[in-house]
Amino acid sequence: MRILLIEDDAQTAEYIRRGLTELGQSVDHARDGQEGLLMATSGTYDVLVIDRMLPRLDGLTVLRMLREGHVRTPTLFLTAMGSIDDRVKGLESGGDDYLVKPFAFSEFYARVCSLGRRPPLQEVQTVFTLGGLEMDLIKRTVTRAGKAIELQPTEFRLLEYLLRHAGRAVTRTMLLEHVWGFHFDPKTNIVETHISRLRAKVDRGFTPELIHTLRGVGYKADVAP
């Protein structure tokens, strides 16, 4: 297994690293939350082990950002925060398991192996590019030709869906279901209104236009109509 350990306590990190290495596992170590976030998104890991209390970004924030960016690597929280409320918060943030310090290495390793035996997850895309437009799901940023574009949450989800299906037609029904969670037609112009707002932000002043209306069908994100 390839394991990423995000732990700021040097003694604990070395204890874990040495123990896992002796058992034939590959271990990378990040010393703070921001470094760990970058490593978790840039590398391919079988298991993440994350402390709750970390410098720069706490463990809950790191995992929430990873999950928002569709990084689904199985994750074990390893922390001194052991109340029921702490455990619930850890699991609700996207954690798969939770182990409280101090811990027995044998139990820790058994939990890591259990997570590592899960079926491989499909590699997910977290950065989309099209016609000079770049969308980063982890950083929650959108730029075009190097210029930052500020989007509202719904606009962000709408653009993400269009880019995930770039070059393909998406219908109004598909957008209502996947962007707004509607499984019925609300009989409003909510889709058209948000498409118009999104166009004003990502297309106005740029060439080529990226968001196209397919009359009688829906919409398409592409460099050509």
- For tokens 């809950």, what's the residue? 60
Write the DSSP assignment of 121-171 as a string of letters: PPP---EEEETTEEEETTTTEEEETTEE----HHHHHHHHHHHHTTTS-EE
Answer yes or no: do 89 and 155 share one domain.
no
Answer yes or no: do 61 and 137 share one domain.
no
Answer yes or no: do 7 and 111 share one domain.
yes
Answer yes or no: do 111 and 16 share one domain.
yes
Answer yes or no: do 73 and 162 share one domain.
no
Q: Is residue 38 part of a domain?
A: yes
Mean pLDDT of 203-216: 94
Q: Is residue 72 part of a domain?
A: yes
Residue-number span of the structural domain to which 26 is assigned: 2-116
Query: Could you tell me the pLDDT band of residue 58, with boundaries at 50, 70 and 90?
Result: very high
Q: Which of 14-28, 83-97, 149-163, 198-212 has the lowest mean pLDDT?
A: 83-97
pLDDT value of position 184: 79
Count: domains in the chain: 2
What pTM value is reported for the model?
0.56
Q: Is residue 121 part of a domain?
A: no
Mean pLDDT of 20-43: 91
Cα Dmax for the chain: 63
The CATH number of whichever domain residue 131 belongs to comes to 1.10.10.10
Answer yes or no: do 9 and 70 share one domain.
yes
Q: Is residue 163 part of a domain?
A: yes
Whether the per-residue pLDDT at 124 is higher than 70: the answer is no
Q: Is residue 11 part of a domain?
A: yes
pLDDT value of position 12: 94
Q: Are 103 and 77 in contact (CB under 8 A)?
A: no
Query: Residue 219 is which amino acid?
Result: Y
Query: Considering the chain, what is the average pLDDT of its residues?
Result: 91
List helix spans (H) across the chain.
10-22, 33-42, 59-68, 84-92, 105-116, 153-164, 172-179, 190-202
pLDDT value of position 82: 78
Q: Is residue 46 part of a domain?
A: yes
222 φ/ψ sector (left φ>0, alpha ψ -120 to 50, else beta): beta
